Structure 1
Amino acid sequence: MLKAFYSSATGMRAQELMIDNTANNLANVNTTGFKKKHINFADLLYDTKTPPGAASANGEIKPIGLQIGSGVRAVGTTSLFAQGTPTETGIDTHMAIEGDGFFKVTQANTTAYTRDGSFTLNDQGQMVTGDGYLLDPQVTIPQQATNLSISSTGVVSYQIDGVSTVGPTIQLARFANPAGLQNMGSNLYMETAASGPEILGQPGQQGNGEIRQRFIEGSNVEVVSELVSLITAQRAYEINSRAIRAGDEMLSSASDLVR
């Protein structure tokens, strides 16, 4: 009887995490380059009264066993890297990645990766994120440059006094397991042992996506799907609380027998 209390309590905690995750997804519905998260759950240990395949009293093999579960636990969160909707901004330094890959950025001794292509120029003409992280490899645009162009393969070009100049080529990073990247906030990811090492390459080659200038990638959160998840988690939370109430009522009935 008491096992039902603990099992239902784990279910309520799991649904709390589900609601927290859904709330975070909805909060970032307008965050540039945001990738929604999905929580994975797994059942807990089982109290095995009779294992499947055990011999019965008459010597026959039982086709099923008797096992009572102990509830549920959260295994982890998975980032879903489905493509977000590109939005045109008209700003020359803005870029969206169509396909796989991340922009590599650095600040001091910190290396990070992002899908947020809303870059701008700092006081030295270097291309940086909104938080000042430098695009790596560095791209510097002279102040007198005009007609800045970034091709789909990452080639940067501009004109100075009417003369065309080809600058550096933007590179993208890929990972064997992008879901293993660690979220750092500010639209940044960090490499981990689970993600594997970075694989740098030119856009449009070696499996990398292409770059679309003057666009940024929107969040891939679907509001309707998240609302359905929110309702489902709320109802599951209520059902688990009812299971605790039912167990309490059964214990109360049992205690009344001795009165």
Structure 2
Amino acid sequence: MQNGFYAVTGAMVTQFNRLDQISNNLANLNTNGYKQQNHVIGDFMRIYQEKRDTLPLANQTKEAAAFLNRSINRVPHVVEEFKDFSMGPMESTGNPLDLALGDKDLFFAVETPGGIRLTRDGAFKLDEEGRMVTRDGYPVLSSGYFKSRQPIHLPAEAVNLKIDGSGRIEYMDQTALDTPVFVDRLMVVRVEDMQSLEAEGENLFTMEGGVRERDLAIVTQTSAVRQGMIEKSNVNPVRQMTELIETNRLVEMYQKAMNAQMDDLNSDAINKLASIRA
């Protein structure tokens, strides 16, 4: 195979992956709490240079790696995928069951059929049984869940619901409207290494091997919970559209280079090799 054709093919595959990533970000522009996904584009040469000093070569220089195919080394590819966990804008809704978190490394915990999962989407509601659940019906967990094994439950008589910055849930008793009644406290967890989180769909995150009790650092001393607020997606639509246009142009450029490799160069080589000169 021609080295130039290989390089162009590898570059096109990389840009297709980038298109998928950008399209996914734009599709989740209005998804509450969504975190933008990004790619780091590099080439094999750069990776080799970063690791060169650790390679078992007698002479750790560029000359020591002369056996490497330089054309292949320059093929761009996705070096790393990561999520941008910066805060999205806050939007006031006035709904007492809408909650946002003021720190980027904090998450709500919910119970799914696959186990405990984490989310930044605080658009909660009450189901028919009075449980606080996500829009997909997953129960929201309390800070004492691992002892009680019960989700947060609000009685039917609960009015004037109040959730403070620490996640403490209270309501006013209808028979004594000036007396707050404690219900429960939200489980708010802090994740130290957020890049270890894996997106699972439905705006949920898990960890390698699943989210286990020992993995969760439950936070009680905080003031980050915002009642009546929703964190929106942190996707910048202008930047993503700019990157989409740039990526499409790169694909077109690589397509032209591929055509040049397959048609022009091959045709020129065939014509020259087939010609008979006296």
1:174 and 2:174 equivalent? no
The 3 A distance-change label for structure 1 pair 256 and 108 is closer
2: CA distance, partners of 1:44 / 1:108: 41
Q: 2:157 aligns with which of 128, 144, 154?
A: 144
Give the direction of change, closer, same or farther, for the CA distance of 1:200–1:143 in structure 2 (3 Å limit). same
Q: Decide which moves more: 70-79 or 177-186.
A: 70-79
Higher strand share: 1
The alpha-carbon distance between structure 1 residues 25 and 45, as it changes in their structure 2 partners (threshold 3 A), is same
For residues 214 and 181 of structure 1, the distance between their equivalents in structure 2, rounded to whole angstroms, comes to 27
Distance 2:115 2:79 in 1: 29
- CA-based RMSD of the aligned residues comes to 2.6
Percent identical: 28
Counterpart of 1:67 (choices 65, 70, 83) is: 70
The one-letter amino acid paired with 2:95 is I
Aligned AA for 1:90?
G
Count of residues in Structure 1 that have an aligned counterpart in Structure 2: 243
| TM-score, normalised via structure 1 length | 0.85
Q: 2:148: which partner in 1? A: none
Q: How far apart in 2 are the matches of 1:183 and 1:114? A: 10
Q: Is residue 170–residue 203 contact of structure 1 (8 Å, CA) maintained in 2?
A: no
**Shift of residue 73 of structure 1?**
2.5
State the Cα distance separating 1:66 from its structure 2 match.
8.6
CA contact (8 A) 1:154 1:203 kept: no
Match of 2:128 in 1: 123
TM-score if structure 2 supplies the norm length?
0.79
Distance verdict in 2 for CA 1:195–1:21, change over 3 Å? farther
Residue deviations 1:79-138 (CA, integer Å, cap 9, x gap): 111111111111111101111211000135611111010011112221110111111113
Greater helix proportion: 2
2:7/2:71 contact within 8 Å kept: no
Matches for 1:5-16 after TM superposition, within 5 Å: 5-16=5-16
Distance 1:131 1:244, change over 3 A: same
Cα separation, partners in 2 of 1:203 and 1:192, compared to 1, 3 Å? farther
Report the counterpart of residue 118 of structure 2 in structure 1. Answer: 113
Tell me how far 1:203 sits from its aligned partner.
5.7
- Once the two structures are TM-superposed, the CA of residue 67 in structure 1 deviates from its matched residue by 3.0
Q: 1:93 aligns with which of 93, 97, 104?
A: 97
User: Which structure 2 residue ranges, 5 or more long, are not aligned?
Assistant: 47-60, 143-150
Letter in 2 for 1:164: P
Could you list the runs of 4 or more consecutive aligned residues of structure 1 that deviate by over 6 angstroms after TM superposition?
Answer: none
Structure 1 equivalent of residue 240 of structure 2? 226
SS in 1 for 2:85: coil
CA separation in 1, counterparts of 2:270 and 2:22? Answer: 41
CA displacement 1:190-225 (0-9 Å, x = unmatched): 122699933221262xxxx70110111111111101
Q: What's the CA shift for 1:146?
A: 1.5
Return the match for 1:52 from 62, 72, 93: 62
